[in-house]
Amino acid sequence: MSSKISEKVYGVFINCIKSSKSQTETVEFLNDLLSPPEKTMLAKRVAIAFMLLENKYTYEEISNTLKISFGTIAKVNSAFALKGNGYKKIIGNFVLKKSIRNSLSEFLDLIKPSTRTLMGEVFLKPKIKSKLKREEPL
């Protein structure tokens, strides 16, 4: 396909998404359009962007959590560094909205391993912390 045709096809795709009147309509359109692996791939890229934006996760933690390669993480990270205006605008605005920020926090809580090291500190889940606290001498 020539670049001119590719641009036109991509424009039609973007206009289809823009013309959606509701979230339900958008979801239905994307469910019809994308296969389950394609939806998963796109969702993982958005999750990578969130995790990179949080600036708290290593490539290894992101890779292990989302079951993706370092190359995929690097591709998203380079999009942030080199151009990334779309990521920054959409995901940045998404993070700034309070209700969405709560959803992001819930997502990050779900993906945290029970213990992880971050900047030299060990973060433990509350259940483990309370168990350790009970075992301390009086």
Asked which of 11-20, 87-96, 117-126 is least confident by mean pLDDT, the reply is 117-126
Same domain, 102 and 56: yes
Exposure of 105 in the CB half-sphere (CA atoms within 13 A)? 7
pLDDT of 119 > 50? The answer is no
pLDDT, residue 137, reads: 45
Average pLDDT of span 18-45 = 90
Same domain, 40 and 68: yes
Same domain, 29 and 42: no
Task: Tell me the average pLDDT of the chain.
Answer: 76
Count the domains in the chain: 2
Instruction: Retrieve residue 6's tokens.
Output: 């590719």
Average pLDDT of span 49-73 = 88
pTM: 0.62
Same domain, 78 and 94: yes
Same domain, 25 and 51: no
11: containing domain: 1-33
User: Which of 102, 53, 54, 49 is CA-nearest to residue 72?
Assistant: 49
Same domain, 26 and 77: no
pLDDT of 78 > 60? The answer is yes
